[in-house]
Amino acid sequence: MTLLKVDQLDCRYGLLQAVRGVSFEVAQGEIVALIGANGAGKTTLLRAIAGAHRPHAGSVSFDGADVTRLPAHRRVSLGIALVPEGRRLFPSLTVEENLRVAAVGNRRGRWNVQAVLDVFPLLQPRRKMPAANLSGGEQQAVAIGRALMSNPRLLLLDEVSLGLAPVVVDAVYRSLANVISEGATVLLVEQDLTRALRVAGRVICMLEGHVVLEGAAQSLDRDRVVHAYFGLGGHAAGGASA
């Protein structure tokens, strides 16, 4: 079943067109990685899906309903949660408070503070600490946990490994594997190609606002992905399926 449908989406910042005619679908239970060089439009696309950026044209449908004009908080109540680039925690609030804030008026489901702490055991001893005192990896875990507190059906993750040591990234992804194994649908931006190809079932590569390559992670040739990523040999227009 299609959970998310993005159709001919255009996003602009003034005259700059950051997302150009992007279309793709994500089925329930899928894990899709969005890859592409800096400035390709990945963050803007995730923000448009979450309702944090108003698109210039095109549409976003969630579970069959057009949500293009819905404000972000209404999308959260439908089950779309964004873990933004840079985490955006409340620095003076404790871990637990940061999690609880996100639960206000939330959807019902399995996620609560204890469930998040079970999935991210590194947060257990930090529960009463202000978020400002946490390491980068711990902050990222809180940011993901905060999104889970809304009991999302679609989790949008923007560069969860940014600025973290590889060993910490491994720990965050291990915990994420638990979340994913419970049937979450995930669209994630990941700069690390190897990791993206390993964790995702499908990969969508963007270049200069366009989708230039799309296909099942297992069937995509790494060289082809690298070429699409850097725009070598021209655009593979139209999202060639692999």
* Residue 160 near residue 146, CB atoms below 8 Å: no
**Rg of the Cα trace of the chain?**
17
* Alpha carbon 97 to chain centroid, angstroms: 23
Q: Binding mask 109-148 vs ligand ATP (x if CB under 6 A, - otherwise)?
A: ----------------------------------------
> In the sheet that 202-207 helps form, which strands lie side by side, from edge to edge?
80-83, 154-158, 185-189, 31-35, 202-207, 210-216, 240-241
Q: Binding mask 35-54 vs ligand ATP (x if CB under 6 A, - otherwise)?
A: -x-xxxxxxx----------
* Pick 30 or 190: Cβ nearer ligand ATP: 190
If one asks whether residue 68 binds ligand ATP (CB under 6 A), the answer comes out as no
Minimum distance between the CB of residue 235 and ligand ATP, rounded to whole angstroms? 16
If one asks whether residue 171 binds ligand ATP (CB under 6 A), the answer comes out as no
Task: Return the axis-axis angle of helices 136-148 and 166-181, rounded to nearest 10°.
Answer: 20
Which of 6, 18, 83, 180 is close enough to bind ligand ATP by CB under 6 A? 18
If DSSP codes are grouped into helix, strand and coil, which group holds residue 62? strand
If one asks whether residue 185 binds ligand ATP (CB under 6 A), the answer comes out as no
If one asks whether residue 202 binds ligand ATP (CB under 6 A), the answer comes out as no
217: how many CB neighbours lie within 10 A of its CB? Answer: 18
Pick the piece of the chain touching ligand ATP (CB under 6 A) from 32-40, 74-82, 98-106, 113-121.
32-40
Residues touching ligand ATP, count (CB under 6 A) = 11
If one asks whether residue 200 binds ligand ATP (CB under 6 A), the answer comes out as no
Pairing state of beta strands 65-66 and 80-83?
unpaired
* Pick 11 or 147: Cβ nearer ligand ATP: 11
If one asks whether residue 6 binds ligand ATP (CB under 6 A), the answer comes out as no
Instruction: State both tokens at 29.
Output: 């239970």
If one asks whether residue 239 binds ligand ATP (CB under 6 A), the answer comes out as no
Instruction: State both tokens at 173.
Output: 């992804």
Beta-sheet strands, E only, within 73-183 = 80-83, 154-158
If one asks whether residue 55 binds ligand ATP (CB under 6 A), the answer comes out as no
If one asks whether residue 88 binds ligand ATP (CB under 6 A), the answer comes out as no
Give the whole-angstrom CA distance, residue 124 versus residue 194: 30
Pick the piece of the chain touching ligand ATP (CB under 6 A) from 12-20, 25-33, 76-84, 100-108.
12-20
Phi, psi angles (nearest 5°) of residue 136: -60, -45
Where do contacts with ligand ATP occur on this chain (CB under 6 A)? 13, 16, 18, 36, 38-44
